[in-house]
Amino acid sequence: MKSFKTIFLFLIAIALYSSAMGQHKYAYKIYDKDGNISDFQKMLDSSLKSDIILFGELHNNPISHWLQISLTKEIYAKKSDKLILGAEMFETDNQLILNEYLQGKITERNFKAEAKMWNNYDTDYKPLVEFAKNNNIPFVGTNIPRRYAALVHRQGFDALLGLEYDAMKYLPPLPVPYDAELPSYKTMLEMQGMPAHSNENLPKAQAIKDATMAHFILKNFSQGKVFLHFHGAYHSDNYEGIFWYLTQYGKKDNLITITTVEQDNLNELHELNKGKADFIIVVDPDMTKTY
241 falls within a domain: yes
Question: Would residue 27 count as lying in a domain?
Answer: no
Instruction: State the CATH number of the domain containing residue 47.
Output: 3.40.50.11550
pTM for this structure? Answer: 0.90
Dihedral over Cα of 218, 220, 224, 230: its sign: negative
Q: Is residue 10 part of a domain?
A: no
Report how far apart, in Å, the C-alpha atoms of 208 and of each of 39, 160, 168, 203, 253 are.
Answer: 33, 10, 13, 9, 22
Domain of 153 in residue numbering reads as: 37-283
Q: Which of 221, 261, 248 is nearest to 53 (CA)?
A: 221
DSSP category for residue 175 = S
Q: How many domains in the chain?
A: 1
22 in any annotated domain: no
For 115, other C-beta atoms within 10 Å of its C-beta total 23
What 3-state class would DSSP assign to 187? helix
In this structure, is residue 14 part of a structural domain?
Answer: no
In tens digits, the chain (291 residues) has pLDDT values of: 545 444 444 444 444 444 444 567 899 999 999 999 999 999 999 999 999 999 999 999 999 999 999 999 999 999 999 999 999 999 999 999 999 999 999 999 999 999 999 999 999 999 999 999 999 999 999 999 999 999 999 999 999 999 999 999 999 999 999 999 999 999 988 876 655 445 789 999 999 999 999 999 999 999 999 999 999 999 999 999 999 999 999 999 999 999 999 999 999 999 999 999 999 999 999 999 999
Residue 20 is assigned to a structural domain of this protein: no
Angle between helices 146-155 and 201-220 (to 10 degrees): 140
* Helices and strands (DSSP H and E) totals, the chain: 10, 8
Taking phi first (over 0 means left), then psi (-120 to 50 degrees means alpha), and beta for anything else, what does residue 239 get? left
Q: Is residue 144 part of a domain?
A: yes
Amino acid at 8: F
12 assigned to some structural domain: no
